[in-house]
Amino acid sequence: MAKKEQKQATALSALLQENRKFKPSVDFTKQANVRDSAIFETAAKDPESFWAGFAEKLQWDRKWDKVLDWQHPHAKWFVGGKLNACVNCVDRHVQNGMRNKAAIIWEGEPGEQRTLTYWDLYREVNKFGNALRSLGITKGDRVAIYMPMIPELVIAMLACARIGAIHSVVFGGFSAEALKDRINDAQAKLLITADGGFRRGQLIPLKHDADYALRETPCIENVVIVKRGDFPLRIKEGRDHWWHRLMQEAKSYCEPESMDAEDILYILYTSGTTGKPKGIVHTTGGYLTGTYATTNWVFDLKPSDVFWCTADIGWVTGHSYIVYGPLANGATQVMYEGAPDWPDRDRFWQLVEKYGVTIFYTAPTAIRAFMKWGHEWPSKYDLASLRLLGTVGEPINPEAWMWYHEHIGLGSCPIVDTWWQTETGMIMVTPLPGLTETTPGSATKPFPGVNADVVDEQGNSVPVGGGYLAIKSPWPAMLRGIYGDAERYVQQYWSKWDGVYFTSDGAKRDENGNIWVLGRVDDVLNIAGHRIGTMEVESALVDHECVAESAVVGVDDELKGQAITAFVTLKEGHDADKKLEDRLREHVAAKIGAVAKPKEIIFSANLPKTRSGKIMRRLLRDIAAGDVLGDTTTLADPDVVTKLKKHYEEQYGV
C-alpha cells in the first residue's frame, strides 16, 4: 500500500488526448531509406552489431577490436579503432567521385551567396589545419571558436578535427563573460573569431566582445580573425592574426592525425535552460557513427537532397546535424547567417524556394514565431520542393505541429519530432519517416538500437502512463563526461538508478507505445496531488485559436499545494482582455480537465528564452513567486524578464 501511494504521488499525470494520426504516404515509404520495421527487433537483439554496421560505412585507419566496453557509467565504443572525423566528412567524398558536389550553399544575411563544393571544403580545411599547426596547435589542444554562421566556422571545426585539436564552439550570441568562462574552463590555447557577423541588419562586433574576454583568459596564446565586415579592429601584434593572411601562407595538404575512436572530438556547453551550463565531452568514433546513422535514417537523406538545419552551429544541433552527420553522409546543405525575420518575416521561405530545399529541420520556438506572424508569409512562396520536416529543442505543441504540417509541409511532408540532448550527441527518440505513424506532439519511438524508456521513480518501465525518460543502455554518441568534472558526470546522469542514464525530462507513454516528452522534471507542476508536465497545459493553451505560445509554472497555493500561473503570447491581431482570460481558462478545463485550469494568466508579447530559443520557466517561477531572479546569464534578452516582472507586480501586486 505504502509503495502504491508513493507511486501515485510521483507518477506524472497524462492529461492530453491527441488522436490525430499521420501515416507516411505510400510514395514516401517506397523511396525511404528505412522501409522494414523488423529493424527495431534486429537492433534490439544485438545493438552492438547494429551500430557496427554503420561504423563499417565510415573510413577507418584501423578497425576496432571490440565494439563496446561498458563499465558503467563509462563507455568506450569501437575500442582500438582509429579514424579521423575530418577525413570522413571531406576527403572520403573527394576520393569517391563527389569532389564537385556542393557541400555548403551559404547565404549571408545581407544576401551574398557562396557555394563550397567538397573539393573547396577539402582545400580550405587542409590549409587551415596547417595554419593552426603553424600557430603551435597540436593533438589534444583546446581551440575556442566564437564565430557567426559563415563557412569558416565549419572549416575551423573540421580543421581542428583534422589535426586532433579539441574544438569548443561558443555561440556567437553569447556575451564576453560567457566566452571568458568557457575559454577558461576548457583552458583553450587559441581562439578563432571574426570581426563580426550580421544579425538583423547589424554587424555584431564579435572581436570587440572577445577582446573583453581576452583580458582574463591567460591560457589563450593566439587569436585568428576572419574578416567578415569592414570596420577597424584593435589588433594585438604577435597574438592576433588575420585568417586570410594565414591562409595565403598555408600549404595545401595537411596530414590528418589518426585519432583513437575514444579521443575527444569536442567539448560543448549545454544551453543552460536549467542552470549553469555543463561542458559536455564527445569523442570521435562512436559520435561519428551515431550522427552518421541518424542523419541518414531520420532525415531519409539522399545524394540529391538539399538539407537545411536552421540551428546555429553554437548548439549541439548544429554540431551533429550541420557539421558531422550531414557531411559524413556527403550531403548538400543550405547554411544561413542571419535572422528569420530579416529583412522581412519571409526570409526562410524565400531561401527554401530559392535553393529548392527538400529537408527542413528547425525548432518549435521558430515554428511558434511563424505561427504568431501568420501563414501569409510562407504562402507567398513555392514550398513544393520540401519533402520532409523536422523539429528539435522543446516539446512541440500539437497545434504548432499542425500548423507546420499544413502551412510548411503543405499537408504532404512527414514530420520528424526528434528528442535528444547535448549529452546524447545524436537523435534518440524519433519517427523514422518512411515507417512511423506520427501523432502531433509525440516524438514516438526510440531510434533502433537505442534503449530509451519511460520509467517510474524506482526505475521500472511504465507500460502506459507518466514517468521519467531514461536510457537503459549505452549508445555510441553518448557523452563521455563533463569536462574537468568527473564527479558531476556521475552525480548528474547516473546516480538516480543503477546503470541507467537520467535525462532530467518527464515523459509519458500512450496506448500505442508512443513516447511524449512532457517537459523538464524540474518544471513539473504539483496541483492538488497531481503531478502535471508543463507541455500538456501549454499545449491546451496553444490549442486556442488566439494563442501562439505559452509557458506555465506552479506557484505555492494554500489549498492546492500549487496553482498554475500561465504566461501567454497571443497571435498577432488578437488583444488581451479579461474575457479572453476567462475563455482561455475554460478552454484548458475543457481540453484537459479542471485540475489544470490556470489561476493567473499573464499576457506577454515575449517569453524569457535561452539564447537557443528555449523557454526558461525557472525565471517565470521566480517572477510569479516574487523571488529574486536566478541565474540569467544564458538568457537571450534580459529585458523580457525585467518587463515581465514589473508587469506581473503591477497586476498581482506580489
- Select the span of 113-121, 339-347, 376-384, 420-428 touching ligand ATP (CB under 6 A): 420-428
* CA neighbours closer than 13 Å in the CB half-sphere of residue 618: 18
Nearer to ligand ATP, 316 or 563 (CB): 316
Is 456 a residue that touches ligand ATP (CB under 6 A)? no
Nearer to ligand ATP, 448 or 519 (CB): 519
Task: Please compute, for residue 388, the number of CA atoms within 13 A of its CA located in the half-sphere on the CB side.
Answer: 30
**Quick check: 551 and 620 in contact, CB under 8 A?**
yes
Give the one residue of 168, 332, 358, 421 binding ligand ATP; rule: CB under 6 A.
421
- Cell numbers given for 213: 574576454
| Range in contact with ligand ATP (rule: CB under 6 A) among 118-126, 416-424, 493-501, 562-570 | 416-424
List beta partners, residue 224. Answer: 192, 241
> Considering the rule CB under 6 A, would residue 270 count as an interface residue with ligand ATP?
yes
Toward ligand ATP, which CB reaches closer, 84 or 418? 418
Decide if residue 338 touches ligand ATP (CB under 6 A). Answer: no
Residue closer to ligand ATP, measured from CB, 122 or 419 = 419
Instruction: Among 132, 392, 482, 521, indicate the residue that binds ligand ATP (CB under 6 A).
Output: 392
Using rule CB under 6 A, residue 555 touches ligand ATP: no
Q: Any residues with CB less than 8 A from the CB of 38 and at least 6 apart, and which?
A: none
Which residue, 585 or 618, has its beta carbon nearer to ligand ATP? 618
- Contact between 565 and 525 under an 8 Å Cβ cutoff? The reply is no
Instruction: Check binding of 273 to ligand ATP (CB under 6 A).
Output: yes
Instruction: Select from 130, 271, 534, 550 the one that contacts ligand ATP (CB under 6 A).
Output: 271
Q: Which of residues 603-632 bind ligand ATP (CB under 6 A)?
A: 612, 614
Cβ proximity to ligand ATP: between 47 and 425 the closer is: 425
Closest alpha carbon to 542 in 646, 441, 417:
441
* Least distance from ligand ATP to the Cβ atom of residue 505, Å: 5
Q: Is 452:428 a contact under the CB 8 Å cutoff?
A: yes
Write the DSSP string, 325-357: HHHHTT-EEEEE-S-TTSSSTTHHHHHHHHHT-
Is the Cβ of residue 517 or residue 596 nearer to ligand ATP in the bound state? 517
Least spacing, CB of residue 443 vs ligand ATP, in Å: 5
Candidates 355, 419, 489, 501; binder of ligand ATP (CB under 6 A) is 419
Nearest distance from C-beta of residue 584 to ligand ATP, angstroms: 23
Place of cell 566566452: 179
Grid cell at residue 202: 547589424
What is the C-alpha separation between 558 and 442, in angstroms, rounded? 34
- Residue 443 found at the interface with ligand ATP (CB under 6 A): yes
d(CA 572, CA 578): 18
Query: Is 534 near ligand ATP (CB under 6 A)?
Result: no
Can you tell me the distance from the alpha carbon of 183 to that of 64, in angstroms, rounded to the nearest whole number? 33
Q: Cβ(126)–Cβ(163) under 8 Å?
A: no
When asked if residue 167 is in the footprint of ligand ATP (CB under 6 A), the reply is no
- 274 near ligand ATP (CB under 6 A): yes
Q: How many chain residues bind ligand ATP (CB under 6 A)?
A: 25
User: Considering only residues 481-520, where is the footprint of ligand ATP by CB under 6 A?
Assistant: 503, 505, 517, 520
Piece of the chain touching ligand ATP by CB under 6 A; list 235-243, 267-275, 404-412, 476-484: 267-275
Q: How far is the CB of 386 from ligand ATP (least distance, A)?
A: 19
The smaller minimum CB distance to ligand ATP, of residues 250 and 416, is found at: 416
In which element (H, E) is residue 282 found?
strand 279-283
**All residues at 6 or more sequence positions from 238 whose CB lies less than 8 Å from its CB, including other chains:** none
Helices then strands, counting H and E runs in the chain, come out as 22, 31
Contact between 277 and ligand ATP by CB under 6 A: the answer reads yes
310 binds ligand ATP (CB under 6 A): no
**Cβ(164)–Cβ(140) under 8 Å?**
yes
Residue 117 binds ligand ATP (CB under 6 A): no
At CA 383, angle to CA 294 and CA 100, rounded to 5?
Answer: 60
The reply on whether position 395 binds ligand ATP by CB under 6 A is yes
Using CB under 6 A as the binding rule, whether residue 635 contacts ligand ATP is answered as no
SS3 390: strand
H or E element in which residue 535 lies: helix 534-542
End-to-end CA distance of the chain: 41
What's the longest Cα–Cα distance across the chain? Answer: 76
CB 538 within 8 A of CB 567: no
Residue 601 Cβ vs ligand ATP, minimum distance, rounded to whole Å? 24
With CA atoms as reference, report the closest residue to 510 among 471, 472, 467: 467
Mark the segment that binds ligand ATP (CB under 6 A) among 14-22, 83-91, 264-272, 480-488. Answer: 264-272
Least distance between ligand ATP and beta carbon 179 (Å): 17
536 is a site residue for ligand ATP (CB under 6 A): no
DSSP state of 167: E
User: With CB under 6 A as the contact rule, which of the stretches 223-231, 266-274, 484-492, 557-565 interacts with ligand ATP?
Assistant: 266-274
Q: Does 523 bind ligand ATP (CB under 6 A)?
A: no
Closer residue to ligand ATP in complex, CB, 190/542: 542
Distance CA(13)–CA(529), nearest Å, equals 10
Which of 107, 185, 337, 417 lies at the binding interface for ligand ATP (CB under 6 A)?
A: 417
Q: What CA–CA distance (Å, rounded) separates 427 from 592?
A: 30
Do 361 and 335 form a contact (C-beta atoms < 8 A)?
no
Binding segment (CB under 6 A) for ligand ATP, from list 191-199, 347-355, 414-422, 538-546: 414-422
**Considering the rule CB under 6 A, would residue 394 count as an interface residue with ligand ATP?**
yes
- Dihedral (CA of 289, 291, 292, 297) sign: positive
Residues that bind ligand ATP (CB under 6 A): 270-274, 277, 315-316, 392-395, 417-422, 443, 503, 505, 517, 520, 612, 614
